[in-house]
């Protein structure tokens, strides 16, 4: 069975949106989840449905597409569409997959779709090769990051932010720990405390009150201590 992918369009100009929809008809493996003309409705749909790809117009009423992308806690792959080439650099700084200049030709659209499918296929292969594979996608420092699971050491809740400690550095996305927990494979990660999630393969030692990971000692929560210790004994020892 051929792979299937989902996309969403945020475009305030109906003629431009119709062009994208017409081009998408040539790609039966893709399903369009909807066309949105307002940033607010698109953001709600993105957070609810988590599409693989977003076609995002840069010039929108009240807010730019660049700022829409900055608001997303877990953005999909993004292809910017615009009539203004001067925004390309800033778009790519936000880790956009591609940048389509209006009027969009079928040939240029095809290149963007090929690039999107290649990236998504690579990620699906990684996700299917074992529990260590795959990526955690999040926004931090005005950029979109795709951090491999095996490089994450632990995560710490800090009010409205989460500190992600990894072998690639420390990141501070504005998101809750519970939201990120849903994106992490349970085989590899364990919530040991209301404020901490750890990569089980990075745990060096533990006792009834704390565990050692990296150069830190993290507390084990009292409410779930028995379950946490049972899991640690099964996975770490």
Find, among 176, 198, 177, the residue nearest to 188 by Cα: 198
Give the confidence band of 141 by pLDDT, cuts at 50, 70, 90: confident
What pLDDT is recorded for position 2?
57
pLDDT at 85 over 60: yes
Find out whether 126 and 134 touch, Cβ atoms under 8 Å.
yes
CATH 3.40.50.2300 fits 5-128, yes or no: yes
Bond preceding residue 74 cis, omega within 30 of 0 = no
Q: Structure tokens of 125?
A: 């292969």
pLDDT single digits (tens) 23-53: 999 999 999 999 999 999 999 999 889 899 9
What pLDDT is recorded for position 1?
43
Name the CATH architecture for the domain at 151-235: Beta Barrel (2.40)
Contacts of 138 (CB under 8 A, 6+ apart): 73, 74, 144, 145, 147, 164, 171, 173, 175, 180
Cα(226)–Cα(229) distance, integer angstroms: 5
pLDDT at 129 over 80: no
**Helices (DSSP H) in 98-215: which residue ranges?**
106-128, 177-181
pLDDT at 94 over 70: no
Contacts of 234 (CB under 8 A, 6+ apart): none
Same fold: 5-128 with 151-235:
no
- Residue spans of the domains in the chain: they are 5-128, 151-235
């Amino acid at each position: 069975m051929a792979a299937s992918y989902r996309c969403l369009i945020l475009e305030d100009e109906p003629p431009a949106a119709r062009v994208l929809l017409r081009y998408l008809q040539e790609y039966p493996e893709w399903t369009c989840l909807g066309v949105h003309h307002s940033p607010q409705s698109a953001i709600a749909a993105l957070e609810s449905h988590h599409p693989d790809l977003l076609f995002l117009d840069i010039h929108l009423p009240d807010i730019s597409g660049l700022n829409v992308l900055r608001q997303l806690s877990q953005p999909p792959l993004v292809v910017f569409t615009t009539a203004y080439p001067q925004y390309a650099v800033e778009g790519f700084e936000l880790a956009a997959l591609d940048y389509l200049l209006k009027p969009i030709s079928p040939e240029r659209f095809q290149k963007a779709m090929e690039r999107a499918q290649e990236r998504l296929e690579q990620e699906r292969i990684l996700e299917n090769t074992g529990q260590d594979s795959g990526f955690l996608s999040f926004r931090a420092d005005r950029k979109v990051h795709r951090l491999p699971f095996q490089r994450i050491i632990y995560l710490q809740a800090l009010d409205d932010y989460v500190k992600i400690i990894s072998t690639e550095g420390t990141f501070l996305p504005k998101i809750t720990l519970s939201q990120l927990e849903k994106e992490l494979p349970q085989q590899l990660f364990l919530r040991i405390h209301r404020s901490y999630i750890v990569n089980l393969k990075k745990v060096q030692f533990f006792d009834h009150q704390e565990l050692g990971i990296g150069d830190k000692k993290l507390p084990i929560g009292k409410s779930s201590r028995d379950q946490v210790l049972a899991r640690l004994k099964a996975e770490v020892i």
